[in-house]
Chain A
Amino acid sequence: MHLILFLVFAGFCLVGAINLLLQSHPINSALSLIVVMVSLAVLYLLLGAEFLAAAQVIVYAGAIMVLFTFVIMLLNASREERTLGSRAALRVGFPSVVAILAIIATVILHTQGLGVARLSDGITSTEELSAVLFTKLLLPFEVTSVLILIAILGAVALAGHDARDPQGIRERTGGK
């Protein structure tokens, strides 16, 4: 059962990720990414991380990707243009990716003592997680909250219209 679920959702993951690359319209890519994320949530469940599975769906699929689609809609992003870009970089980049993948795969396949995952394995409950998070790691947690607050402010400052220029006149006229 575990094997089947793993194969199915790993397949979903891979298909979604590849589809993300193949699709030329950003919204399709975004939907592919959502598929990847939801499938990953299932994989997390299989690995016994149920809280993370829910958080994955809520945070990634439900918040971050909504933001992405929102921006895609807002900017009315269309199919990407066939620009040339940097061929040389691609010549460097693809071998590098292949090298990275090869190295990591080699290392993983040569690592001894990696265990196995079963359905009957213990599940990390939300209590255990929060017990550590809110005692030992309280400070990082709080710092993260501050980080998010700052990010919100930054996002508002960056994307929001200038308060003195609500109609965006200055932007359109090049600041004059």
Chain B
Amino acid sequence: MTIVQFILWSVLKVAVVTVVMLLAVAYTVLLERKLVGRIQNRWGPSRVGPFGLLQPLVDGAKSFLKEDIIPTGVYRPLYLIAPILALGCALISIGVVPFGVPVSVAGSPPLFQIANVNIGLLVILAVTSIGVYGIALAGWSSNSKYSLLGALRSSAQLVSYELALGLSLVGVVLRAGSLNLRVIVEQQATQGMLSWNVFGGMQFVAFFIYLMAAYAETNRSPFDLPEAESELTGGYHTEYSSMKFAMFFMAEYANMITVGCVATLLFFGGWTSPFGDLIPPFENVFFDAGLSLFWFVLKVFSFLFLYVWVRGTLPRFRYDQLMNFGWRWLMPLAILNIVATSLWLAYR
């Protein structure tokens, strides 16, 4: 493999993943609107295209075409950088996520993953932690009290729940003995659903913590305090409009997808079949690869479904309840989980 090939392959993978990711974001929005509509006993978008399937494209076009307003009082450099930062971070972390079995064609590097990194999990955490800046800077540079309050809330919430999130993953890492996402998945691949971390790996508590923390990290209901419309008229992106607002919007959904991916990889066996060896492999590279991709997307989709379901069902927390929950319950619980897992692993 020459250097030119390497670069070409890399660019190709990045391009494909980005496009797919953006499409996924767009259709996640549609999924949410549809689902929430059904939960609220209405139709949701249904006019544009069949079943409203073209709605996301129209939305995107609308965002692009709207007048781009930059309020006079804002601190321009940061006001412009912030949404890019937010979306950028959200998209980057997908770079280390493996989507399926490692296959390569014509001497290419492994498909279904942009970069196989030893410390993939840490990279995701690191990029997520950088994502805070997008929100914080957006709120601050807007020079608006609602934005600032939203941003402060958001920063505090993200920093707080990042701890619980990171700690909840330690049990999984302990079990796998590696930070490589592929290794973690393969370690769960022996007996199908039974060997998944969330079941056989005894990490259900960790999963619960992860789920809570992930909702908070993505500013999703019931932890969507930073953009609580009734209190903050939209939160940190109050002063944003058109494409820049759309970028925050996309960043949020991209984060949701990433979080779903990580949950799938860490707790639900990644791209492996839930039935283990009950369904024998097809002995066909492309078919197996497609099947693994199918399982992965299915699992991620179910997570997104859960996200929307929760959003349509649960009311929002109060801010102090949110902080209390994070520091007083999730954190100690995560630490206890680490201790219990360590003991279990040591005396198994």
Contacts and interface: CB of A to CB of B under 8 A. Distances in A.
Question: Do any beta carbons of A and B sit within 8 angstroms of each other in the complex?
Answer: yes
Given A61-B129, A70-B155, A126 B118 contact: yes
A73 B140 contact: yes
Interface in B128-142: 128-130, 132-133, 136-137, 139-140
Given A38-B130, A69-B136, 17 more contacts: A31-B78, A34-B130, A50-B119, A51-B119, A53-B119, A54-B119, A61-B126, A62-B128, A62-B130, A63-B129, A63-B159, A66-B129, A66-B159, A69-B137, A70-B136, A70-B156, A126-B118
Contacts of B139: 73
Chain B interface size, as a band, is 20 to 34
A58 interface: yes
Interface string A117-129: 0000001011100
B15 interface: no
Interface in A126-156: 126-127
Contacts of B128: 62
A66 B133 contact: yes
B136 A73 contact: yes
Contact of B130 (A28, A55, A57, A70): A57
Interface of A: 1, 27-28, 31, 34, 38, 41, 50-51, 53-55, 57-58, 61-63, 66, 69-70, 73-74, 123, 125-127
Given A63-B159, A66-B136, A73-B140, A57 B119 contact: no
Given A28-B77, A54-B119, A34 B133 contact: yes
Contacts of B152: 70, 73-74
Is the contact region of chain B dominated by helix, strand, or loop, or is it mixed?
Answer: helix
Given A62-B129, A62-B162, A66-B133, A51 B155 contact: no
A57 B131 CA distance: 11
Contacts, number: 74
Interface of B: 3, 75, 77-78, 81, 117-119, 122-123, 125-130, 132-133, 136-137, 139-140, 148, 151-152, 155-156, 159, 162, 177, 179
Is the contact region of chain A dominated by helix, strand, or loop, or is it mixed?
Answer: helix
A66 B132 CA distance: 8
B118 A50 contact: yes
A46 B118 CA distance: 14
A41 B123 CA distance: 11
B163 to A, nearest CB: 9
B126 A66 contact: no
B155 A54 contact: no
Nearest to B78: A27
Contacts of B137: 27, 31, 69
